[in-house]
Amino acid sequence: MVLYGKNSVAERLKANPGSIQKIFLEDTFDPSGIDKLIKINKIPVEHVSRQGLSKTKNAKDLQGITARVNAFEYISFDELLDRPKEKRLTLIFLDRINDPQNLGVIIRTAACFGGFAVIIPRHEACEVTETVLHVASGGENYVPVSKVPNLSGAIIAAKAAGYWILGTVVTDDAEDINKISLPFPLGVVLGSEGEGIRYGIEKHLDIKARIPMHGAKLSFNVNIACAIFCHEISKQREHQHEAQN
């Protein structure tokens, strides 16, 4: 795979330099801030022209740097469920998210808040591509991503492991996310950009939640909805942790 953009390469250098095979720098690129990391980790560097850099990755916004890296490594879903209770992450289940921009932003958002993992289905969904990594801006280094054969099966397994499952829906019986006392460990299901959560998954929800909207009768993009839910989850998770200590 090829990473491109200074943030993506810089975060990979900080978090997982062993996955970088080679870095390509445009002749005019200023490597200050990452040059020490490159030398410390003894990563091969090739200086190239702008045209030469574009041959390493055909994209508009290379920002003067690309890196050839190992294929993205997904984490085993069982490994997420087997974590000790005090180290369990909040699981973000993505139902048919097909836009790599949305998946990249969701991973970046989860990284910013911390304490989240992302679960995607093997079929009918976007996987982690070079575009996703670019949009995530290094967030993939801090968020475990698991790819499962069947999302419903993964949710059922999470419930059996003690997780509560919350789904983002717009039905009349959905509760305001800001007024729910959230249980932990928690899994959150986000539906597809156009169709929401499938019925086969919705029937497994323990909690149906919505984002209160007092303005125009429109809808949030899935990555914006993710950020709102992650904020509320992080706030309540921190309060619960403080109360227990």
CATH number, span 77-244: 3.40.1280.10
- CATH 3.40.1280.10 range(s) for the chain read 77-244
163-190 pLDDT, tens digit per residue, is: 999 998 877 789 999 999 999 999 999 9
CATH number 3.30.1330.30 given to 2-69: yes
Kindly indicate the confidence band of residue 220, based on its pLDDT and cuts at 50, 70 and 90.
confident
| Gap between the Cα atoms of 221 and 225, Å rounded | 6
| Gap between the Cα atoms of 30 and 76, Å rounded | 38
pTM of the model: 0.95
- The bridge status of strand 65-69 relative to strand 2-4 is antiparallel
63-120 pLDDT, tens digit per residue, is: 999 999 999 999 999 999 999 988 999 999 999 999 999 999 999 999 999 999 999 9
- CATH 3.30.1330.30 range(s) for the chain read 2-69
Pull the structure tokens for residue 73.
Answer: 């490594």
CB 66 within 8 A of CB 44: no
Q: Is the dihedral of CA 34, 9, 118, 211 positive or negative?
A: positive
Which residue is it, tokens 């085993």? 76
Which residue is it, tokens 């990979």? 12
